[in-house]
Chain A
Amino acid sequence: MLRDKRLFLVVAVLVTVAMVVSACGPKGPKLAQEINLNLGTEPPTLDPALATDTTSVEVDESLFLGLTDFDDETMEVIPELATEWKVSDDGLVWTFTMRKDAVWVHYDPATKKFTKKRPVTAHDVEYGVKRTLNPETASEYAYVLYIIKNAEAYNTGEITDPAEVGVKALDDWTVQFTLEQPAGYFGGIAGMWVARPMPKEPIEQFGEKWTEPGNIWSNGPFALDTWEHENRLVLVKNPHWYNAKNVSLQRINYVMVVEASTAFAMYENGELDVCGVPTTEIDRVKADPVLSKEYYEGPYLCTYYLGFDTTEPPVDNKLVRQALSYAVDRQKLVDTVLKGGQKPAKTFACPGIFGTPAEDPNFVGISYDPEKAKQLLADAGYPNGEGFPEMTYLFNTSQGHQRIAEFIQQGWKEVLGIDVVLANQEWKVYLQTIQTDPPAVWRMGWCADYPDENNWVLENFHSTKGSNRIKWSNPEFDRACEEAAATSDPAKRKELYAKAEKILCVDEAAIIPIYYYTRVVCNKPYVQRTYAALGNEHYDKWKVLAH
């Protein structure tokens, strides 16, 4: 009896020891080439023809290749699917020669098997561009391609024959674009997601569902493994990509956490490897011995601005708009509310964009000047804000935008003595509202699609060729934008854009530029990464180091 008991004890102890040893045994460095990121929200679409927002584009950038790409450092246009391109002497015909080793792959998430389908050809580019422009596709970003001959007419239903659109596959590896007018920046547009080659077969087979995992064909460095809507999205390395041998990451795990503070808590907890830093945490992060080493602040080609409904009193009066603009203390906003090294803005296009006078010392923009603001408001007929009608400042629901709105609201009350009603709407409703029935004042951010002023002033505020949410029409401004777009001489273009910016932001104060964005992130020390100035990260160049 006693012996049995002893045996049992021995066995029990041995089992326990074995369990403990196996549990804390040599863990080994975590070398899985996997990275955990926060996508922030559910991407509205993964279809490149339909994408208009940074979330969708972030994922599409890993899945689909363009003819061209932007260099992370210099922002110059560099080859991607195209190996070289030629521009005719009149600047109207662009001919791209494509590489022959890019293939469409299909990935089956159930069996984890990749299937090579067929090469990516010039016909896919032609199909992709025409699909974006097809009115039935209803792409909201189709206007970016209007520089292509007959693109606008086809997209707006003026002509119905897609063959008239100025894009044509000359053979399997050569694609030719004919433009409406010369455009030095077209190299950048040719690489944008709306102009990417698209696979006809799955689109025709699955219709709207073609971007679901298991249906989708892709050609980029990564393929779509999982897309649990509103929850998570997983990309896996594509072994058949032409440069696959230089890709380290095997897996990208995206979560969709909307709250920035929640995401940052996950980062501190080790559940995310890279994460944006919420403004309220910046002071603590900078003071923390560990986090401060992981902190990064860098330029990001976006501008935060306030738009007006320039047809609605009282902001139909340019003196009122100027007064409002002079009464925003941008430097203080950046120092106290934002804290991420953002720069006060005096132009619409941020530094780093071709043609912007943002860093030109000769360009006198509007900056904080309470006396001048008061004077202008008095000139407009509202001395000390007396008799100023109530107006609404609308923003999309977010703590960050609300902070900025409250700061500006407080400033206007203090300097000008006027009351502004703050209201907010959810993002999709918000976009609809400011497009159809904008309130007196609303906020918006604009990020470069390609680093040229054309993408900024013309595409946003031209009275007919831009989205023109401010309902504004200034012939002099329109002419400057058009002339600059049609000119190839860089010096002349810069001059014209400076003129356009001056009319937009100073003389007419049709918008109030607030600040130029920065990217404020924390990276775990084992993440070796690149920073894409235009925001479309190249994860194929990222690496997870031993840790």
Chain B
Amino acid sequence: MTVQERAALRLQERPRREASLWRDAWRRLVRNRAAVLGLVVVALLIAVAITAPYIAPAHYAAGDAADEHTVPSWLAAVLPGNVAAYAKINNKFLLGSDFLGRDLLSRIIYGTRVSLPVGFMGAFTALIIGLVYGCISGYYGGRVDDIMMRIVDILYAFPTMLLIILLMAFFKTSFGGTPVPGTPAYTFNQINKAVDSILGLRGGGMLFIFMGIGLTAWMGMARLARGQILSVKEKEFIEASRMIGASDMRIILRHIFPNIIGPCVVAETLAIPGYINYEVFLSFIGLGVDPPTPSWGNLISEGAQALRSYPHLVIFPALALSITMFAFNFLGDGLRDALDPRMRGTS
């Protein structure tokens, strides 16, 4: 085989090799039991969120206050204290009902329609804004990099939670409620309504939560993307493409992106539980989705009021939340092991 032939062969092999990289990653992922479990749970949660109206026993806002705080008999037997002495035992609701006689199970099921979109949208916005910002900053370097990164540093200096609380309070007072038609606030309000109805919720204010989390979540991603770019952009193959006259855009999109996207996706998968947690926290302090839309944060917050009398009202939503967090964390860990170049080849 001549040298040319060998080179041609290598070129032919290339696509197959790239495919085998992803196949390799997938193989590594499925070998990781915790990651598979995480993947299955996440897939299940997505299925639950999509099919909520069909699998939930009742609508989340439906209920008769006469059925308030019922406890099913199986729970009454398990719960500490003498629940049977003061609670209404009623097997109509599998996990009991809340203060307005609404089915807790249905509310938890519909709660996935808040928590999952918040998690994914948080990650998605962070990826989009963060990647673009980080790429520009890292690729052009010099003064551009200095200025852009100092802005991130300044924003980073604010406690994220505080920033989100301020943003949410601002959105809620400016765009919430029923603003006058024709104003920008009204437009925002209408977009918000559209988002809510896409998610099948009756008045939730999801757009504000997406914006609140999205506007604060990209900074970490921007730093990560910049760091990745700095390590890649001096590599020979970049210089090569620059030498043959490739445009900046082409270099970034065709050569840099594929090399840095892995770690970025992994980082965002690991950040999803954090975003879900933000929503829970916001709802807990009354800045989250608007009632009667259930979110796990709302449910935990409501349940915590009755912690001593009806502990199950906080236990089940909290359980749903922690299972989700575990699932995303396991999946994220698995993805990192599978995709991170430095971990490649180790097992």
Which residues of A pack against B, CB within 8 Å?
259-261, 264-265, 268, 278-281, 283-284, 286-288, 332-333, 336-337, 389-392, 394, 397, 399, 402-403, 405-407, 409-410, 413, 419, 421-425, 429, 439-440
* In the complex, B306 has a CB within 8 A of chain A: yes
Contact A390 B178 (CB under 8 A): yes
CB-defined contacts of A406 to chain B, threshold 8 Å: 100, 291-292
| Minimal Cβ-Cβ distance residue in A for B307 | A261
Q: Is the C-beta of B173 less than 8 angstroms from some C-beta in chain A?
A: yes
Checking B63, B101, B203, B301 against A421 with a beta-carbon cut-off of 8 angstroms, the contacting residue is B203
Q: List the B side residues contacting A259 at CB < 8 Å.
A: 305
Task: Collect the chain A residues with CB atoms within 8 Å of residue B87's CB.
Answer: 283
B61 contacts A by Cβ under 8 Å: yes
- Between B69, B81, B304, B305, the greatest number of chain A beta carbons within 10 A of the residue's beta carbon is seen for B305
Counting CB contacts under 8 A, is B310 at the interface?
A: yes
Quick check: A286 and B86 within 8 Å, CB to CB?
A: yes
Whether A410 contacts B61 in the complex (CB less than 8 A), given A261-B305, A280-B305, A337-B100, comes out as yes
Residues of A within 8 A of B308 (CB): 261, 264-265, 268, 281, 284
B65 touches A332 (CB 8 A): yes
Q: Does A337 lie within 8 Å of B178, measured CB to CB?
A: no
**Nearest residue, chain B, Cβ from A332:** B65
Bound CA–CA A502/B178 (angstroms): 31
The number of chain B residues with a CB under 8 A from chain A is 35
The answer to whether the Cβ of B85 comes within 8 Å of any Cβ in the partner chain is yes
Q: Is the CB of B307 within 8 A of A394?
A: no
On whether the beta carbons of A410 and B309 are closer than 8 Å, the reply is no
CB distance from B85 to the nearest CB of A (A): 4
Complex partner residue of B100 from A397, A410, A419, CB under 8 angstroms: A410
Residues of B within 8 A of A279 (CB): 99
Chain B positions 271-327 with a Cβ under 8 Å from a chain A Cβ: 285-286, 290-292, 301-302, 304-310
CA distance A391 to B290 in the complex (A): 14
Q: Which of B65, B176, B292, B310 contacts A336 (CB 8 A)?
A: B65
B166, chain A: closest CB distance, angstroms: 13
- Whole-angstrom distance between the alpha carbons of A98 and B120 in the complex? 72
* List of A residues within 8 angstroms of B286 by Cβ: 397, 402, 424
Say whether A337 contacts B68, CB under 8 Å. yes
Contact A421 B177 (CB under 8 A): yes
| Known A-B contacts A286-B86, A399-B301, A421-B203; A280 and B99 likewise in contact (beta carbons under 8 Å) | yes
Q: Tell whether, in the assembled complex, residue B65 and residue A407 are in contact, meaning their CB atoms are under 8 Å apart.
A: yes
- Say yes or no for B66: interface residue by CB 8 A criterion: yes
Q: Is B92 an interface residue (CB 8 A)?
A: no
Q: A261-B306, A280-B306, A410-B292 are in contact. Are A391 and B99 (CB under 8 A)?
A: no
Does A283 lie within 8 Å of B66, measured CB to CB? no
CB atoms of A287 and B292 under 8 A apart: no
Residues of A close to B177: CB separation below 8 A: 392, 394, 421, 423, 439
* Mask of B174-209 contacts with A, CB within 8 angstroms, 1/0: 001110000000000000000000000011000000
What residues of A have a CB within 8 angstroms of the CB of B61 in the complex?
Answer: 410, 413
Q: How far in angstroms is the closest Cβ of chain B from A69? A: 36
Q: Which residues of B contact A403 (CB under 8 A)?
A: 99-100
- Complex CA distance for A223 and B178, rounded to whole angstroms: 48
Contact at A423–B292, with CB atoms within 8 Å?
no
Chain A residue with Cβ nearest B304: A261
B82 close to A (CB within 8 Å): yes
Pair B85/A287 contact, Cβ less than 8 Å: yes
Q: Do A407 and B100 have beta carbons less than 8 Å apart?
A: yes
Check if B65 sits within 8 Å of A333, measured CB to CB: yes
A280–B65 CB distance below 8 A = no
Residues of chain A lying within 8 A (CB to CB) of residue B233: none
Would B176 and A423 count as touching, CB distance under 8 A? yes
With A399-B302, A410-B100 known to touch, is A421 a contact of B65 (CB < 8 Å)? no
What separation, in Å, do the CA atoms of A283 and B291 have in the docked complex? 25
Separation of A425 and B291 alpha carbons in the complex (Å): 14
Contacts of A337 in B (CB 8 A): 65, 68, 99-100
| Closest A residue to B193 using CB positions | A390
Q: Does B255 contact A (CB under 8 A)?
A: no
Asked if B309 contacts A280 (CB within 8 A), the reply is yes
Given A392-B178, A406-B291, A424-B286, output 14 extra A-B contacts at Cβ < 8 Å. Answer: A259-B305, A260-B305, A261-B305, A280-B305, A281-B306, A284-B81, A333-B65, A336-B100, A409-B292, A410-B65, A421-B203, A422-B290, A423-B172, A429-B173
- Complex Cα distance, B179 from A439, in Å, reads 10
17 contacts between A and B (CB under 8 A): A261-B304, A261-B305, A280-B69, A281-B306, A281-B309, A287-B82, A336-B99, A337-B99, A392-B178, A399-B302, A399-B305, A406-B100, A410-B63, A410-B65, A421-B203, A423-B172, A439-B178
Please, which residue of chain A has its CB at the minimum distance from the CB of B303?
A280
- Tell me the B36-73 residues at the A interface (CB within 8 Å): 61, 63, 65-66, 68-69
* Most chain B CB inside 10 Å of its own CB: which residue of A260, A394, A423: A423
Bound Cα distance A203, B173 (Å): 38
Closest B residue to A333 using CB positions? B65
Cα distance, A361 to B295, chains bound together (Å): 45
B178 and A391 within 8 A (CB): yes
Shortest Cβ distance from A425 into B: residue? B173
Q: Which chain A residues lie closer than 8 Å to B203 at the CB level?
A: 419, 421-422
Chain A min CB distance to B284 (Å): 11
**How far, in Å, is B197 (CB) from chain A's closest CB?**
12
Closest A residue, CB atoms, query B313? A280
A423 near B290: Cβ-Cβ < 8 Å: yes
* Cα of A488 to Cα of B87 in the assembled complex, Å: 52
Complex Cα–Cα for A280 and B178 (A)? 32
Q: Given the complex, which residues of B lie within 8 Å of A332, measured CB to CB?
A: 65-66
Name A419's contact: one of B63, B99, B202 (CB within 8 Å): B202
A332 to B307, CA, bound (A): 24
Bound-complex Cα distance A413 to B87 (A): 28
Residues on A with beta carbons closer than 8 Å to the beta carbon of B302: 399
Note all chain A residues with C-beta closer than 8 A to B69.
280, 283
Point out the residue from A278, A333, A425 that lies within 8 Å of B305, measured CB to CB. A278
A265's nearest neighbour on chain B, judged by CB, is B308
* Cα A337 to Cα B309 with chains together (Å): 15
Would you call B173 and A280 a contact (CB within 8 A)? no
A394 to B172, CA, bound (A): 12
CA distance A301 to B82 in the complex (A): 35
Contact A440-B178, Cβ < 8 Å, known A261-B308, A283-B69, A407-B65: yes
CA–CA, A425 to B176, complex, Å?
Answer: 11
> Bound state CA distance, A330 and B183, in angstroms?
37
* Residues in chain A near residue B202, CB distance under 8 A: 419
Tell me the complex Cα distance, A392–B175, Å.
12
